[in-house]
Amino acid sequence: MFTTALTPRDITKTATGLPYDLFEAIKALKKELNAIILAHYYQDSDIQDIADYIGDSLELSRKAANTDADVIVFAGVHFMAETAKILNPNKLVLLPDLNAGCSLADTCPPKEFAAFKAAHPGHLVVSYINCSADIKAMSDIICTSSNAVKIVNQIPENQPIIFAPDRNLGRYVMEQTGRNLVLWQGSCMVHETFSEKKIIQLKIQHPEAEVIAHPECEPPVLRHANFIGSTTALLKYSQACSSNKFIVATEPGIIHQMQQREPKKHFIPAPPMNNCACNECPHMRLNTLEKLYLAMKNRAPEIVLPEETRVAALQPIQRMLEMSV
């Protein structure tokens, strides 16, 4: 007699042990853990679709600061999940892949930055949130791409400022505020890959298209932009603007939300210099739906921070939240 009939439990699993319906499995774990899934716009579309909240770095920090969930599942990169942990020392903060770092954050090693800071006594340190907890702990105020101009404008004019680590955002803030900032020379491997030449070619092919760009792009690309802003600002602009076509100079993950909100509009990802997919953030893309499920199932990998660093990094983040209401 045939005795190895499949039970309903068996047929919910694939040969790898993962459930067939990851969406349903993640929803069930969310209830079980009282978890919230926060996702950045640069995540794969399926992760964006399962998230409770999608946003830019500032909105995700605000959400992390105010959630009453017990577990924060951060679908983003390490510095974002770390910020959530700094704000929530007693919550479990999960990052689906701990190797999801940030090339920009990596351009600012703590030892070198401490020496840079010591070489500029009397300077206030404003750091872009895309940096490690160690750099945040050495900073006076944190900012994101959506509030950097607003924050620098609130600092007394005679106060010298170091801006780290992104030189492109720093240069953009200098232009917008008329302030002279001492810039740390960091940059993002994704935003410096866009080709000015290919953007010009696209503009010739699509003269009706507007170029929209993230301030982390290099000046030759920003020069062609009709609008510059954080990921949320780009998304809102693409909805409010009457144009039907956009050349999008930031990580193309954002196009999923743009397309969902404006199905009739046409979004063209700005091409990289080489014939590669290097306009996709390799760090963000390390997170997958499978890893997100496994992180929730295993309650790991978890973000852990030395308490001394966390406490020192908390104050400049809180200042940012206060200064950007």
Stated length of the chain: 325
Tell me whether residue 29 or residue 73 sits nearer to ligand 13P (CB atom): 73
Tell me whether residue 64 or residue 296 sits nearer to ligand 13P (CB atom): 64
* d(C-alpha 221, C-alpha 300), whole Å: 40
The Cα diameter of the chain in Å comes to 88
Residue from 77, 95, 162, 292 that binds ligand SF4 (CB under 6 A)? 77
Among 189, 186, 218, CA closest to 278? 189
Residue from 181, 234, 270, 284 that binds ligand SF4 (CB under 6 A)? 284
CB 250 → ligand SF4: shortest distance, Å? 8
* d(C-alpha 283, C-alpha 94), whole Å: 16
| Residues of this chain, 43-72, that bind ligand 13P according to CB under 6 A | 56-57
The contact mask relative to ligand SF4 for 35-54 (x = CB under 6 A, - = no) is --------------------
Q: Is 139 in the site for ligand 13P (CB under 6 A)?
A: no
The contact mask relative to ligand 13P for 213-242 (x = CB under 6 A, - = no) is -x-x-------------xx-----------
Q: Is 324 in the site for ligand 13P (CB under 6 A)?
A: no
Among 88, 91, 170, CA closest to 131? 170
Which listed range, 141-149, 156-164, 271-279, 299-307, lies at the site for ligand 13P (CB under 6 A)? Answer: 141-149
Task: Choose among ligand 13P, ligand SF4, none what residue 147 binds, the Cβ cut-off being 5 to 8 Å by kind.
Answer: none
Among 123, 119, 127, 124, CA closest to 148? 127
Q: Is 107 in the site for ligand SF4 (CB under 6 A)?
A: no
In the chain, the amino acid numbered 306 is P
Residue from 190, 202, 294, 317 that binds ligand SF4 (CB under 6 A)? 190
* d(C-alpha 154, C-alpha 96), whole Å: 37
CB 245 → ligand SF4: shortest distance, Å? 24
The contact mask relative to ligand 13P for 176-215 (x = CB under 6 A, - = no) is ------------x-------------------------x-
Please give the structure tokens belonging to residue 139.
Answer: 């900073």
Residue from 26, 249, 281, 313 that binds ligand SF4 (CB under 6 A)? 281
Cβ–Cβ under 8 Å, residues 195 and 271: yes
Size of the site for ligand 13P (CB under 6 A): 11
Q: Which residues pair with 38 in a beta bridge?
A: 53, 74
CB 80 → ligand 13P: shortest distance, Å? 8
Cβ–Cβ under 8 Å, residues 248 and 206: no
Apex CA 233: angle with CA 247 and CA 23, to 5°? 85
Tell me whether residue 35 or residue 190 sits nearer to ligand SF4 (CB atom): 190
* d(C-alpha 270, C-alpha 146), whole Å: 21
Cβ–Cβ under 8 Å, residues 36 and 67: yes
* d(C-alpha 58, C-alpha 47), whole Å: 19
Residues that bind ligand SF4 (CB under 6 A): 77, 102-104, 130, 188-191, 216, 251, 281, 283-284
Residues that bind ligand 13P (CB under 6 A): 56-57, 130, 144-146, 188, 214, 216, 230-231
